[in-house]
Amino acid sequence: MTETTEKKENISPVWNYHPDLPLESVPYWRWPLSPLAILKWLYENFLSFTDRLLYIIYAIVVALWIMPFTSAEASLSWDWALLILLRNYIAVLVIVGGLHIWFYGIDGQGNLLRYDNRPIDKRGVKRFKFGYQTWDNMFYTLASGVPIATLWEIGMRYAFADGLIPTFSFADHPVWFLLLFPLLTMWQGIHFYFIHRLLHWPPLYKHIHSVHHRNVNTGPWSGLSMHPLEHIIYFSQLLIFFVLPAHPMHILFILHWQLLGAPSSHSGYEAVFAKDKSRLVIGSFFHHLHHHYFECNYGNPEFPLDKWFGTFHDGSERMTVITKERTSQMHRNRQ
Ligand SMILES: [Zn+2]
Ligand SMILES: [Zn+2]
């Protein structure tokens, strides 16, 4: 048997598309360290046309021109708070709505680069509000996700204006300034891993996290389809800025990496494909595996806590068997 056939036979047929499997660790965590592989990975993820790059550019534009953090924000007022809410609604409607229309409205690329080609637009599904996944997911995103993210942003601006958040500029430490972008995505992975494991604790799962997991096959609106308490906890990673000096660009980037990045990574597709080319990389097969098999991949691939705690699913059939066995063991332990 050749190596390729062996690899293929080790992969579940449930997938319409999947990236190269088994999923590998991000090069920061491969031994021996290869600086070249790390630079290539950073280039492909932070400087090529990915959703991540879009959110960095957006954070820069907002921090420098559209809505810079100002000392006037030391006094709370509806004037600026409502403008932030409006800006966040517009960003979510354009990005999340745009992705949904492309993938599921006008069917822009059919099932090309789609992970799981089962429909997400069936009507009359009882577990969803209004009997329809998209409307249900939009409801949780727009009625809770955007307002709560906005409250976090208002809180951060208020604290920043009050001098409670230590800061520095690009001119002070240019290299550290740039490094903070990838480091913050690692921090997001650490924070997400621990809060997410906590949310899988049965009492919290039953009342809070199950709202998100009603989406087995996900679309862009599923990313922020969460219980309001989960929204509050999810954005709490911003609290790091009370101890880690940063610029408003960093704060806005990591906020939008969650507010817009969760929806884009839940699109169910690896990338936007148009005119015979992959145009915008957005997907997270790593997290899609979490929606499919539940008790695995709680964090993100940039910080290997799943590997260290034995909950990493690399997409292979072997890991599916192990994950299912671990899940049954967890259920037995709870009885
Ligand atoms: Zn999810
Ligand atoms: Zn989960």
Domain ranges of the chain: 54-334
H-type alpha helices, the chain: 3-9, 35-42, 51-61, 78-100, 133-140, 146-161, 174-199, 202-204, 210-213, 228-234, 248-259, 261-265, 285-293, 305-308, 317-334
Residue that wins the pLDDT comparison between 308 and 5: 308
Gap from CA of 72 to ligand 1 centroid (Å)? 37
Predicted confidence band at 74 (pLDDT cuts at 50, 70, 90)? very high
Q: What percent of the chain has pLDDT over 70?
A: 96
Gap from CA of 230 to ligand 1 centroid (Å)? 12
Q: What is the pLDDT of residues 152-201, one digit of tens each?
A: 999 999 999 999 999 999 999 999 999 999 999 999 999 999 999 999 99
At residue 6, does pLDDT exceed 60?
Answer: no
Residue that wins the pLDDT comparison between 334 and 230: 230
What does the angle CA 271 – CA 185 – CA 207 come to, to the nearest 5 degrees?
A: 85
Contact yes or no for 165/275 (Cβ under 8 A): no
Gap from CA of 266 to ligand 1 centroid (Å)? 7
Residue that wins the pLDDT comparison between 332 and 148: 148
At residue 5, does pLDDT exceed 60?
Answer: no
Please report the pLDDT score of residue 278 as a whole number. Answer: 73
Please report the pLDDT score of residue 4 as a whole number. Answer: 47
Please report the pLDDT score of residue 276 as a whole number. Answer: 77
Q: Which of 9, 78, 70 is nearest to 248 (CA)?
A: 70
Contact yes or no for 327/294 (Cβ under 8 A): yes
Please report the pLDDT score of residue 2 as a whole number. Answer: 45
Gap from CA of 16 to ligand 2 centroid (Å)? 22
Ligand closest to the CA atom of residue 298:
2
At residue 1, does pLDDT exceed 50?
Answer: no
**Which amino acid, 159?**
A
Q: What percent of the chain has pLDDT over 90?
A: 86
Gap from CA of 290 to ligand 1 centroid (Å)? 7
At residue 290, does pLDDT exceed 50?
Answer: yes
Gap from CA of 212 to ligand 2 centroid (Å)? 7
3-state SS assignment for residue 274: strand
Please report the pLDDT score of residue 11 as a whole number. Answer: 66
Gap from CA of 271 to ligand 2 centroid (Å)? 23
Gap from CA of 292 to ligand 1 centroid (Å)? 10
What does the angle CA 12 – CA 1 – CA 4 come to, to the nearest 5 degrees?
A: 50
Gap from CA of 106 to ligand 2 centroid (Å)? 30
Gap from CA of 302 to ligand 1 centroid (Å)? 16
Please report the pLDDT score of residue 95 as a whole number. Answer: 97
Burial of 244 (0-12, 13-18, 19+ CB in 10 A): middle
Gap from CA of 183 to ligand 2 centroid (Å)? 23
Predicted confidence band at 251 (pLDDT cuts at 50, 70, 90)? very high
Ligand closest to the CA atom of residue 261:
1
What is the average pLDDT value for the chain, to the nearest integer? 93
At residue 8, does pLDDT exceed 60?
Answer: no
Gap from CA of 321 to ligand 1 centroid (Å)? 21
Ligand closest to the CA atom of residue 209:
2
Predicted confidence band at 213 (pLDDT cuts at 50, 70, 90)? very high
At residue 81, does pLDDT exceed 90?
Answer: yes
Gap from CA of 291 to ligand 1 centroid (Å)? 6
Average pLDDT of the segment spanning 130-144:
97
| Token couple for 315 | 């997409």
Angle formed by the axes of helices 174-199 and 248-259, nearest 10° = 40
Please report the pLDDT score of residue 10 as a whole number. Answer: 60
Contact yes or no for 215/291 (Cβ under 8 A): yes
Please report the pLDDT score of residue 162 as a whole number. Answer: 97
At residue 125, does pLDDT exceed 60?
Answer: yes
Residues whose CB is less than 8 angstroms from the CB of residue 317 and which lie 6 or more positions away in sequence, other chains included: 9, 10, 11, 12
Predicted confidence band at 3 (pLDDT cuts at 50, 70, 90)? very low
Gap from CA of 316 to ligand 2 centroid (Å)? 20
| Token couple for 221 | 């609106």
Residues whose CB is less than 8 angstroms from the CB of residue 188 and which lie 6 or more positions away in sequence, other chains included: 237, 254, 257, 258, 300, 302
